[in-house]
Amino acid sequence: MHLIPKYNFNISFLEEIDNDLYPEDLVIDIFDVIMNSKLGIYIKFIPEIDGIDEKWPFDFEYDDSSIQNLRKMFLLESKYVVTPSDKWKGKTKKISKEFIAKCFHADDAEKIQDVIVFFISKEDFELYKNEKEKISTFDMDSEDKLHPKFIDDLEKEYKLPGFLKNRIINSPYLSDEDLSYLKRKRDANGNIILLKD
């Protein structure tokens, strides 16, 4: 059993439409949840990718003018991804750095990292997207909002913080380095525990 300690990090959001690199209609509803904004552990939320649960890994052709190919590109360029599939909801899959290197015609896969994909239901994706809109209205830079109790309070009203805690932080896929950014580590039994000061 994996144990989760108390929150001691903050969360913030980054909208893909804010980076001005792509037309807004192509990147609508793509966003990052950032855990520990000072060190930046990015969890990218990507809307439904057609046929992702029919062939794995999926076919990829670089084309940043297509919504579906752009979503695949964002997935391949990320480290942690959340995307909907009612068929695979609750499952977690990995895309190897070798496959990613092949997609981008890169010679050295060692400079690339694997991508961890957390699948959720379409209903939950819409829920988290809507909750993000509400939570985004809070002043995340306020000193009170950086306090661990703020995240605890959020969890009483919203499902997204609990998802981050139970599905992301408590997964065997979060890297040891990223766990350390959250002041956590795995013990000998695989439990997530707080680092001692």
> Where is average pLDDT lowest: 20-29, 93-102, 132-141?
132-141
Taking a C-beta distance cutoff of 8 angstroms, is the pair 13, 31 a contact? yes
What pLDDT was estimated at residue 91?
98
What pLDDT was estimated at residue 12?
87
Q: What CA–CA distance (Å, rounded) separates 173 from 176?
A: 9
- Read off the tokens for 45: 């939320």
Of the two residues 38 and 4, the one the predictor is more confident about is 38
Per-residue confidence band for 142, with pLDDT thresholds at 50, 70 and 90: low
Q: Could you read off the pLDDT of 6-35 as tens digits, one per residue?
A: 545 678 899 988 778 888 999 999 999 998
Of the two residues 197 and 77, the one the predictor is more confident about is 77
* Domains in the chain: boundaries: 12-194
Of 185, 189, 160, 162, the residue nearest 174 (C-alpha)? 185
1: pLDDT strictly greater than 50: no
Residues 131-135 have a mean pLDDT of 92
**To the nearest whole number, what is the mean pLDDT of the chain?**
88
| Sheet containing strand 92-95, strands side by side | 11-15, 31-35, 41-45, 80-84, 115-120, 92-95
Per-residue confidence band for 172, with pLDDT thresholds at 50, 70 and 90: very high
Residues 91-100 have a mean pLDDT of 97
Taking a C-beta distance cutoff of 8 angstroms, is the pair 181, 11 a contact? no
